[in-house]
Structure 1
Amino acid sequence: MKLAVYQGTGDFLDKMANLARMDRLAATAVRQGASLLMLPEIYLSGYNLGDDCARMAEPADGASAREAARIAKHHGIALLYGYAERDGDAIYNSILLVGADGKPLANYRKVHLFGPEEKRLFEPGKDYVMATLNGLTIGLAICYDVEFPEFIRTLALKGADLIAVPTCLTPPYWEIPTSILRARAYENQIFLAYANHSGAERELSYIGMSAIVGPDGKDIQRAGSEGEALLVAEIDPAAYAESRALNTYLADRRPALYGAVAAAGATTTQSPPQKRTAIARRQRRRR
């Protein structure tokens, strides 16, 4: 399966303009042979919503989802995009996967919310979400989720071939799309696709560096830190049979020894109070 990953600067708070861009990108991706187009976190309205979040949020089957379904069916390509999801009084940071026939395949709500602003605006998700597309099992994650090795390992153990990670990442966290992303792919023997914004929204700027990484931990495609890009790559697990034979992490696990890692009451090392205060001041800038 060919995957297309989009990086770019959207039209902030303009869902119709972003849907029109999705339409154009879908056409371009199809011409390059892609059967799935992946877009960044909260692509639909822009990420840095603040108090505009409530009015930008809409249901998983709302007007924008219906237009995305039309685009997918018209071009014959599956779509994966981020949006602010309203469900009753709750709002979630979500991604929707729509099949090439326009039918919804999966909706995932971000489990690991970052910082006080995300926790103010959104409710956390509670479930792992996976879907099958063109014979591949796709695990869904959003931004901060990929920084939790337990979360990505669980998706791999559930059978994910590819983990799709729409994201909104800002300076100075350059090691996440490089070192961490490559490590997650390598240690789990999976493909990882990472779609970031570029440019700026209000006071936030984004670092780009979108990527498609193979199970050998090497970049298949990588965008720069600025500007628009459409990465297209073949996702073929069979091509990495040698890598999987050499790196037998999943087979060599000893889970009986790891219980403390997932225990709810596990001891954590806290930053000193003064450092936590400084971190809290910076959290609004992160994502």
Structure 2
Amino acid sequence: MRIACWQAACGSPDVPHLLGRLREVARQAAEAGAELLVAPEMTVGGYPLRPAALAQASEPVDGPHGLEVAAIAREFGIAVLHGWPERDGDAVYNASRLVSAEGVLLANYRKAHLFGEVDRSRFAPGDHGVVQAKLGELTVGLLVCYDVEFPEAVRAHGLAGTELLLVPTALMRPWDVVARTLVPARAFESQLYIAYANWIGERGGLDFCGLTTVAAPDGTWLTREEPTEGLLLAEIDPAVVAKARLDTPYLHDRRPELYRGLPDRLG
């Protein structure tokens, strides 16, 4: 499967404007032969969300912005993974949503590990560790940004059979090491692909570093080094996952009985 990761330039948080940009990028990705477009964290609304933008962008899972994304997917015949603020009662979650090329909702995931006050002041934490869906012949899983920095979160996906982990992100400087080192390491140690799509540019006092990456389970990866908006195209091959799990059998050789009973926290 060919996928496209959108490294998006920061700009206006206006939802119709962002959806218009997403539509154009979906067209470009489909014309490049991609079957899946992966967009950054908070694709709808932008990141970080100020109160007015949050009020405009947040909605239930079946809200009008989600329906517009589904229409974009149908129009260009491409599956879309995008970030958005999900409102559920009084709570708002930092969520990612996967829709099929037919515009059908396949999965919705709420970010479980919230990053600092930029997240905790706005969002409630999700409470589901592994959210998966079938996309063609691939088993795909969803995380958001900071989640991927926890090895146990990615390992849980590896053990559950995820072959392609989709991670919309808003990685800031000076934490470039996450894209350059941690994401490829997570893919290698948990024997799956990771598609990591980031913003580029400055917004709300934050400097996003780009470095959108697709890391493979065999220790190889592609990174968009250009500090500009654009698409990173990559081929996802389930045979590479199967071979990596044979060549480097971390999942098989684990000894979880040694780790039971460890304390939940330090100190």
Would you call these one fold, judging by a TM-score over 0.5? yes
Aligned to 2:145: 143
Kept in 1, the 8 Å contact 2:213–2:223? The answer is yes
Aligned to 1:47: 47
1:18 partner amino acid: L
Kept in 1, the 8 Å contact 2:96–2:110? The answer is yes
Aligned to 1:196: 198
- After superposition, what is the alpha-carbon deviation per residue over 1:141-193, rounded to whole angstroms, capped at 9, x for unaligned? 00000010111100110110011110001111111001111110111111011
Query: How large is the RMSD of aligned CA atoms in angstroms?
Result: 1.4
State the alpha-carbon separation in 2 of the partners of residues 266 and 106 from structure 1.
29
The aligned length equals: 265
State the alpha-carbon separation in 2 of the partners of residues 117 and 48 from structure 1.
7
Aligned to 1:282: none
Kept in 2, the 8 Å contact 1:10–1:43? The answer is no
State the alpha-carbon separation in 2 of the partners of residues 45 and 88 from structure 1.
19
2:12 partner amino acid: F
Kept in 2, the 8 Å contact 1:168–1:197? The answer is yes
State the alpha-carbon separation in 1 of the partners of residues 235 and 168 from structure 2.
18
Say if 2:16 is the partner of 1:26.
no
State the alpha-carbon separation in 1 of the partners of residues 48 and 245 from structure 2.
39
Give how far 1:50 is off: 3.0
Aligned to 1:7: 7
| Structure 2 runs not aligned, ≥5 long | none
State the alpha-carbon separation in 1 of the partners of residues 172 and 185 from structure 2.
20
State the alpha-carbon separation in 2 of the partners of residues 240 and 254 from structure 1.
21
Structure 1 residues 54 and 259, CA gap change in structure 2 (3 angstroms)? farther
Kept in 1, the 8 Å contact 2:48–2:118? The answer is no
Give how far 1:49 is off: 1.2
Query: SS of the counterpart of 1:175?
Result: helix
State the alpha-carbon separation in 1 of the partners of residues 31 and 260 from structure 2.
48
Alignment equivalent of 1:208, drawn from 210, 226, 238: 210
Give how far 1:66 is off: 0.8
Aligned to 1:273: none
- After superposition, what is the alpha-carbon deviation per residue over 1:180-207, rounded to whole angstroms, capped at 9, x for unaligned? 1111011111101100000111211100
2:7 partner amino acid: Q
State the alpha-carbon separation in 2 of the partners of residues 225 and 143 from structure 1.
20
State the alpha-carbon separation in 1 of the partners of residues 152 and 168 from structure 2.
18
Give how far 1:55 is off: 3.6
Structure 1 residues 109 and 39, CA gap change in structure 2 (3 angstroms)? same
Alignment equivalent of 1:165, drawn from 158, 164, 167: 167
Say if 2:85 is the partner of 1:84.
yes
State the alpha-carbon separation in 1 of the partners of residues 261 and 56 from structure 2.
42
Structure 1 residues 22 and 256, CA gap change in structure 2 (3 angstroms)? same
1:233 partner amino acid: A
Give how far 1:250 is off: 0.5
State the alpha-carbon separation in 1 of the partners of residues 226 and 48 from structure 2.
19
Give how far 1:48 is off: 1.1
Aligned to 2:100: 99
Question: Radius of gyration: which is bigger?
Answer: 1
Large movers: runs of 4+ above 4 Å: none
- After superposition, what is the alpha-carbon deviation per residue over 1:116-151, rounded to whole angstroms, capped at 9, x for unaligned? 231111000011211110110111000000010111
Give how far 1:226 is off: 1.4
Give how far 1:225 is off: 5.6
2:106 partner amino acid: L
1:34 partner amino acid: A
Residue pairs, 1:238-277, within 5 angstroms: 238-260=239-261, 265-268=263-266
State the alpha-carbon separation in 2 of the partners of residues 34 and 66 from structure 1.
21
Kept in 2, the 8 Å contact 1:11–1:45? The answer is no
Aligned to 1:234: 235
Give how far 1:51 is off: 2.4
Bigger mean CA offset, 20-29 vs 8-17:
8-17
Aligned to 1:285: none
Kept in 2, the 8 Å contact 1:7–1:198? The answer is yes
